[in-house]
């Protein structure tokens, strides 16, 4: 790749670094097994597609085709989330090519070691320690490779489709970190961008979801891409028009993944776009409309192949088999993805364009009603999980589904946002609001806020739910929350002035906290539920401290060192929670031979 | 030549060469099947002499703290002595709690590599907070042998014992 081409994707070394770091962290917990029962559906869907047909003819993974999310298309059972399936084809071909010339376990251990080397080398370049980083990186990479090859056992996979879908999701998780890094860097400079990207890469639930073949990491990446390109379209420059058109491309791709989430993205984008657009010329409108229509092509083609109708998405089709795929749960068995929204009104043949929109507005009104009539849903989804009873057998005796803040205590700092907003509003004249909204930062803010509200409204009627782990339906809120934290002036000051303290607190929190966790789990015989809920309470404590700190800072009482320590601890807490999920709750079938040690 | 510049290139070369050498075209195999004990026999085919040394007389249900509230069943291990193994017969160690309507257990496949003293565990099992009330439950633990004899499937309960499961709040 030439010098300029990699910059198109990564921007600068920091964008590349967070991408590598995210991929490195996520692959530590890479498990070569089906995690949630609806994984069978998409993985078998990829097997079928790689053989040249949409209809899933054989359950290469699992024992039956009646898995959650498998639907009856024209000609037989078909899968869903086709964006993820089709985008995984290149990864599948790559893995098949590697397996043809090398032992795949050895090759993947090698790739991971080289990823480690690349991460250390790029970090060295950023910190101006290039020579040391090259030597040390080479050393640890060789050690990792030799140890890995020594311990390697054969991969037990019926097909490479599962690994391919995981590879795609890991790559997308890496690019998400890059997008967040570039978005924040665009508004507040490289250092703030780097901090936000690193937080997403190693201290957020992204580490967990990147190796589970589900749609959430992709949904978030598409939303981040729209946010970034929309912000770029508001900067002055020749390419503003091009970025404006680009911002609409992820809409079609998201709809290809999940139609409801595509509509959420479209609604948030259009609303913010109209509200903040400086001026509209015909060329710009034509370019934007063209990009949007092109982005819908994969969705339309897929719908035609799957359902025989361009407007019928896989999720609108009736479930395959008499039981409708059963229920979503971990490991084997079967489980209905909570992602399958109530499409009952759509089961009758539909050809109108308006019906999906009516269903969508139905979701939103359902969401509003749920928020008003059952506020405890918001409480359990965002604040405190504990044991939440559901009607589902997949959840028997588990309290492992954490609330948003328990999974991302850093977000506690966001409590200061209303305080800042009120203080800002006092100095703002009403007429100036629209002009103020049209700036790059405010456009991105408005999009992030609008998207967060809409995605919450769509999913809140179904939450809290089993098999969520970290409220995965609203997974895009995690990177958006990190963006919002990076918008807090006090948080940026902490990163700028006390970066070393923050980094060491984080590293200490993970190293010491991780070992303490292992000791407590072993000697006090904690189950996964108990460990996770203990961590949840710790996370809430840290979130409360961060909330107090950030409100104080918003009111003018700064304590930068305290902030850096709190951010470091909150980040370490989030990382350790992911560690508990991976090494205590799942605890098996790791791809890397030296994990867990 | 600057070592620091050459080192990463050397690592890439080592990794690529090793991966290629490990490939299907070469006789070298870095990932041998680590299961020579099992042979090619399916589980539950074969026979063995199994003597149950001890079964527990008590198990516990403990409620998790920190708001998790779920109950975890913990059953002490059963100790068995395995000898004269041929093939891969299996041993199941189970607990049945009628009042909770639940039987849980785990299966251990034995082979000629696992002869001698062996500890069997039931494995972790959890219950909803409202399923269990503090107190005592009657239960049965058993060790069941599954193998073949002259091509016929054989299933024998080697030992069975009535025990008490104590559920206590933490």
| Cβ–Cβ gap A537/B66 under 8 Å | yes
Pairwise CA distance, residues A225 & A227, whole Å: 5
- String of b and e for A441-450 (b: at least 16 CB within 10 Å)? ebbbbbbbeb
CB burial of A542-579 (b: ≥16 within 10 Å; e: otherwise) equals: bbebbbbbbbbbbeeebebebbbbbbbbbbbbbbbbbb
Burial zone of A64 (CB within 10 Å; 0-12 exposed, 13-18 middle, 19+ buried): middle
Contact B4 A533 (CB under 8 A): no
The residue-averaged pLDDT of A573-586 equals 96
Phi-psi category of residue B22: left, alpha or beta, with phi > 0 → left and psi -120 to 50 → alpha:
alpha
What digits encode the pLDDT tens for the residues A88-124? Answer: 999 999 999 999 999 999 999 999 999 999 999 999 9
Q: For residue A334, what pLDDT band results from cuts at 50, 70 and 90?
A: very low
> Taking 60 as the threshold, does the pLDDT of residue A67 lie above it?
yes
Q: Which domain holds residue B9?
A: 1-32
Gap from A195 CA to chain B (nearest CA, Å): 26
Contact between chains at B70 and A529 (C-beta distance less than 8 A): yes
A403 and A381 in contact (C-beta within 8 Å)?
Answer: yes
**Whose structure tokens read 């090519």?**
A97
Residue pair A108/A591 in contact (Cβ under 8 Å)? The answer is yes
- Determine, yes or no, domain membership for B40: no
Above 50 in pLDDT, residue A320? yes
Query: Are A218 and A172 contacting, i.e. CB atoms less than 8 angstroms apart?
Result: yes
- Please, which residues 404-423 of chain A have a Cβ atom closer than 8 Å to chain B? none
| Residue B4 to residue B15: CA distance in whole angstroms | 18
Q: Which of A391, A423, A420, A386 is CA-nearest to residue A402?
A: A386
Residue of A nearest to B63 (CA): A530
Structure-token match 């670094």, residue found: A17
Angstrom CA distances, A537 to A516, A579, B1, B80, stand at 16, 16, 55, 42
Contacts with B16 from chain A: Cβ below 8 Å:
110
Q: Do B162 and B109 sit in the same domain of this protein?
A: yes
Q: Are residues B95 and B125 in the same domain?
A: yes
**C-beta atoms surrounding A267 within 10 Å:** 19
Query: Which of A134-143, A176-185, A224-233, B99-108 shows the lowest per-residue confidence on average (mean pLDDT)?
Result: B99-108
Please judge whether B66 and A135 are an interchain contact, meaning their C-beta atoms are less than 8 angstroms apart.
Answer: no
> What is this structure's pTM?
0.93
pLDDT higher for A52 or B37? A52
Q: How confident is the model at residue A195 (pLDDT cuts 50, 70, 90)?
A: very high
Contact A527 B127 (CB under 8 A): no
Contact between B128 and A397 using a beta-carbon 8 Å cutoff: yes
How many distinct structural domains can be found in chain B?
2
Contacts of B74 in chain A (CB under 8 A): 525
The alpha-carbon gap from B63 to the nearest alpha carbon of chain A, in Å, equals 9
> Rounded CA gap, A533 and A530, in Å?
5
B64 to A386: CB separation less than 8 angstroms, yes or no: no
- The alpha carbon of residue A92 is apart from the nearest alpha carbon of chain B, in Å, by 18
| Contact across the interface for A134 and B5, Cβ inside 8 Å | yes
State yes or no: pLDDT of A159 exceeds 90: yes
Please indicate, yes or no, whether residues B101 and B19 belong to a single structural domain of this protein.
no
How far is it, in rounded angstroms, from Cα B170 to Cα B135?
Answer: 13
In this complex, do A100 and B71 lie within 8 Å of one another by their Cβ atoms? no
| A103/B25 touch (CB, cutoff 8 Å), yes or no | no
Please, which residues have CB within 8 angstroms of residue A475's CB and are 6 or more apart in sequence?
Answer: A205, A209, A216, A217, A219, A220
If asked whether residues B127 and B60 sit together in one domain, one would say yes
CA angle A494–A500–A501, rounded 5-degree value: 70
Across the interface, whether the CB atoms of A396 and B126 are under 8 A apart is answered yes
Considering the domain boundaries, does residue B82 fall inside one?
yes
Angstroms from A415 CA to nearest CA on chain B: 24
Q: Are residues B5 and B58 in the same domain?
A: no
**A525 in B contact zone (CB under 8 Å):** yes
Q: How distant, in Å, are the alpha carbons of A310, A548, B97 from that of B166?
A: 60, 44, 11
Q: Which residue of B has its CA nearest to A398?
A: B70
CB contact at 8 A, A262 and A222: no
Select from B10, B67, B71 the Cβ nearest to the Cβ of A397: B71
Question: Are the C-beta atoms of B141 and B85 separated by less than 8 Å?
Answer: no
> Helix and strand tally (H, E) in chain B?
1, 10
Whether B3 is covered by a domain: the verdict is yes
SS3 content of chain A, % helix, strand, coil (to 5): 70, 0, 30
Model pLDDT for residues B145-168, shown as the tens digit of each residue = 999 888 888 899 999 999 999 998
Note which residues in 77-116 of chain A have CB less than 8 A from chain B.
98, 100-103, 105-107, 110-111, 113-114
Task: Please tell me the distance from the alpha carbon of residue B122 to that of residue B72, in angstroms, as a whole number.
Answer: 12
* Peptide bond connecting A110 to the previous residue in cis, omega within 30 degrees of 0: no
Q: Which chain A residues in 29-88 lie under 8 Å from chain B, judged by CB atoms?
A: none
Please indicate, yes or no, whether residues B67 and B145 belong to a single structural domain of this protein.
yes
Alpha-carbon gap: A518 to the closest alpha carbon of chain B (Å) = 17
Residue A70's nearest CA partner among A346, A392, A306 is A306
Residue A58, classified by CB atoms within 10 Å of its CB into exposed (0-12), middle (13-18) or buried (19+), is exposed
Predicted local distance difference test score (pLDDT) of residue A348: 42
What is the SS3 assignment for A215?
coil
pLDDT band at B81 (very low <50, low <70, confident <90, very high): very high
First to last CA, chain A: 36
Structure tokens belonging to residue A19: 């991408």
pLDDT, averaged across chain A: 90
Same domain as B59, residue B12: no
Whether B25 and A101 lie within 8 Å, measured CB to CB: yes
What's the pLDDT at B40?
64
> What's the DSSP call for residue A36?
B
What residues of A are in contact with residue B31 (Cβ under 8 Å)? 103, 105-106, 152-155
To test the contact with chain A by mutation, choose from B11, B17, B24, B76 the residue with the greatest count of A C-beta atoms within 10 A, namely B11
CB contact at 8 A, A34 and A158: no
Q: Would you say how long chain B is, in residues?
A: 170
Q: Do B12 and B77 lie in a common domain?
A: no
Pair (B9, B50) in one structural domain: no
C-beta separation of A529 from B62 below 8 A: no
* Cα A565 from Cα A560, distance rounded (Å): 9
Q: Do A135 and B129 touch (CB under 8 A)?
A: no
Q: Closest by alpha carbon to B31, among A36, A400, A151?
A: A151
- Considering the domain architecture, whether residues B27 and B51 belong to the same structural domain is answered as no
Dig out the tokens for A183 from the structure.
């978005």
What secondary structure, in 3-state letters, does B10-47 show?
HHHHHHHHHHHHCCCCCCCCCCCCCCCCCCCCCCCEEE
**Percent above pLDDT 90 for chain A:** 76
Q: Work out the pLDDT band at B1, boundaries 50, 70, 90.
A: low
- If pLDDT is split at 50, 70 and 90, which confidence band does A156 have? confident
Residue A320 bridge partners (DSSP):
none
- So what's the pLDDT on residue A431? 67
Q: Where are the domains of chain A?
A: 10-103+152-586
**Phi, psi angle pair for B88, to nearest 5°:** -135, 70
pLDDT tens profile B42-57? 778 888 999 999 999 9
Mean pLDDT, residues A331-357 taken together: 45
Partner-chain contact B19 A102, CB within 8 Å? yes
| Same domain membership, residue B121 and residue B63 | yes
Question: Would the CB atoms of A102 and B31 count as touching at under 8 Å?
Answer: no
Chains A, B: CB contacts within 8 A come to 139
Using CA atoms, how far residue A133 sits from A130, A174, B92, in Å, is 5, 21, 53
Residue B72: closest C-alpha in chain A: A527
Q: Is A396 in contact with B19 (Cβ distance < 8 A)?
A: no
Cβ count near B28 (within 10 Å) = 11
Backbone angles phi, psi at B118, to 5 degrees: -135, 135
Asked whether the bond before B136 is cis by omega within 30 degrees of 0, the reply is no
* Partner B contacted by A384 (CB < 8 A): yes
Average pLDDT over residues A428-446: 81
Q: Is B23 exposed, middle or buried (0-12, 13-18, 19+ CB in 10 A)?
A: middle
- Whether the ipTM is more than 0.90: the answer is no
Instruction: Answer whether residue B38 is part of any domain.
Output: no
Contacts of A36 (CB under 8 A, 6+ apart): A212, A214, A328, A329, A330, A335, A337, A467
pLDDT of residue A51 exceeding 80: yes
Of B25, B69, B124, the CB nearest to A387: B69
Instruction: Tell me if B4 and A534 make a contact (CB, 8 A cut-off).
Output: no
Residues of B in CB contact (< 8 Å) with A are 3-5, 7-8, 10-12, 14-16, 18-20, 22-25, 29-34, 64-72, 74, 124-131
Q: Kindly report which listed range (A22-31, A155-164, A587-596, B91-100) carries the lowest average pLDDT score.
A: A587-596
A592 touches chain B (CB under 8 A): no
Report d(CA A533, CA B2) in Å as an integer.
52
Which of A135, A152, A525 has the CB atom closest to B31's CB atom?
A152
User: Confidence band (pLDDT; 50, 70, 90) for A337?
Assistant: very low
DSSP three-state, residue A331: coil
Give the pLDDT of residue A94: 98
CA distance A298 to chain B (A): 36
For residue A354, give every residue at least 6 positions away whose Cβ sits within 8 Å of its Cβ, in sequence order, or none: none
The answer to whether residues B73 and B20 belong to one domain is no
The pair of structure tokens assigned to A315 is 């999720």
Tell me the C-alpha distance between A568 and A195, whole Å: 11
- Rounded CA Rg of chain B: 24
């Amino acid at each position: 790749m030439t010098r300029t081409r990699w910059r198109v994707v990564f921007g600068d070394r920091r964008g590349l670094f967070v991408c590598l770091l995210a991929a490195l962290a996520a692959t530590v917990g890479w498990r070569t097994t089906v995690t949630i029962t609806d994984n069978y559906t998409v993985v078998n869907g990829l097997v079928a597609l790689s053989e040249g047909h949409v209809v899933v003819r054989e359950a290469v993974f699992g024992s039956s085709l009646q898995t959650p999310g498998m639907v009856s298309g024209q000609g037989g059972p078909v899968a869903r989330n086709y964006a993820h399936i089709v985008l995984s084809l290149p990864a599948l071909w790559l893995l098949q090519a590697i397996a043809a010339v090398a032992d795949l376990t050895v090759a993947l251990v090698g790739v991971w070691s080289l990823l480690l080397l690349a991460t250390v080398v790029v970090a060295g370049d950023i910190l101006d320690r290039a020579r040391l980083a090259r030597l040390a990186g080479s050393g640890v990479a060789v050690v990792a490779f030799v140890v890995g090859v020594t311990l390697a056992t054969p991969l037990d996979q019926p097909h490479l489709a599962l690994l391919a879908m995981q590879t795609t999701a890991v790559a997308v998780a890496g690019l998400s970190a890059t997008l967040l890094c570039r978005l924040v860097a665009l508004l507040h400079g490289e250092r703030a961008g780097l901090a936000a990207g690193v937080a997403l890469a190693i201290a957020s639930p992204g580490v967990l979801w990147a190796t589970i073949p589900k749609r959430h990491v992709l949904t978030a990446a598409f939303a981040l891409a729209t946010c970034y390109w929309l912000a770029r379209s508001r900067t002055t420059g020749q390419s503003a028009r091009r970025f404006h058109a680009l911002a609409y491309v992820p809409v079609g791709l998201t709809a290809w993944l999940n139609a409801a989430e595509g509509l959420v993205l479209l609604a948030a984008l259009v609303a913010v776009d109209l509200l903040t657009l400086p001026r509209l010329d015909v060329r710009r409108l034509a370019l934007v409309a063209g990009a949007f229509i092109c982005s819908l092509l994969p969705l339309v083609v897929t719908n035609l192949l799957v359902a025989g109708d361009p407007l019928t998405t896989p999720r609108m089709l009736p479930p395959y088999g008499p039981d409708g795929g059963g229920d979503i749960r971990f490991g084997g068995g079967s489980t209905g993805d909570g992602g399958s929204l109530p499409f009952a009104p759509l089961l009758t043949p539909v050809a109108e364009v308006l019906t999906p929109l009516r269903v969508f507005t139905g979701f939103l009104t359902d969401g509003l009603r749920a928020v008003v009539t059952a506020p405890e849903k918001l409480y359990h989804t965002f604040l405190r999980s504990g044991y939440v009873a559901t009607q589902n057998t997949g959840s028997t005796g588990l309290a492992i589904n954490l609330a948003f803040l328990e999974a991302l205590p850093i977000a506690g700092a966001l409590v200061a946002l209303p305080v800042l907003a009120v203080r800002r509003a006092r100095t703002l004249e009403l007429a100036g609001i629209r002009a103020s909204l049209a700036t790059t930062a405010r456009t991105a803010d408005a999009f992030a806020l609008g998207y967060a509200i809409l995605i919450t409204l769509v999913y809140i009627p179904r939450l809290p739910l089993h098999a969520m782990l970290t409220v995965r339906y609203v997974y895009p809120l995690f990177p958006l929350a990190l963006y919002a934290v990076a918008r807090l002036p006090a948080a940026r000051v902490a990163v700028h002035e006390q970066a070393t303290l923050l980094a060491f607190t984080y590293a200490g929190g993970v190293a010491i906290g991780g070992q303490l966790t292992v000791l407590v789990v072993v000697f006090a015989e904690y189950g996964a539920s108990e460990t996770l809920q203990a961590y949840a309470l710790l996370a809430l404590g840290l979130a409360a401290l961060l909330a107090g700190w950030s409100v104080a800072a918003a009111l003018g009482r700064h304590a930068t060192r305290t902030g850096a320590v709190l951010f470091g601890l909150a980040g370490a807490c989030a990382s350790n929670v992911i560690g508990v999920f991976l090494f205590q709750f799942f605890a098996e079938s790791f791809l890397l031979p030296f994990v867990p040690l | 030549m600057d070592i620091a510049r050459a080192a990463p290139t050397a690592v890439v070369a080592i990794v690529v060469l090793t991966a290629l050498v490990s490939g299907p075209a070469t006789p070298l195999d870095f990932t041998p099947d680590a299961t020579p004990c099992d042979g090619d026999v399916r589980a539950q085919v074969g026979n063995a002499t199994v003597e149950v040394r001890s079964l527990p007389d008590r198990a516990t249900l403990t409620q998790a703290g920190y708001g998790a509230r779920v109950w975890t069943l913990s059953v002490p291990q059963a100790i068995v002595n395995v000898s004269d193994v041929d093939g891969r017969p299996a041993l199941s160690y189970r607990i049945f709690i009628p009042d909770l309507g639940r039987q849980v257990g785990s299966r251990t496949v034995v082979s000629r590599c696992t002869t001698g003293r062996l500890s069997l565990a039931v494995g972790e099992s959890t219950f909803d907070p409202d399923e269990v009330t503090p107190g005592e439950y009657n239960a049965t633990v058993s060790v069941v042998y599954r193998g073949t004899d002259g091509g016929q499937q054989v299933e024998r309960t080697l030992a069975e014992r009535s025990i008490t499961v104590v559920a206590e709040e933490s």
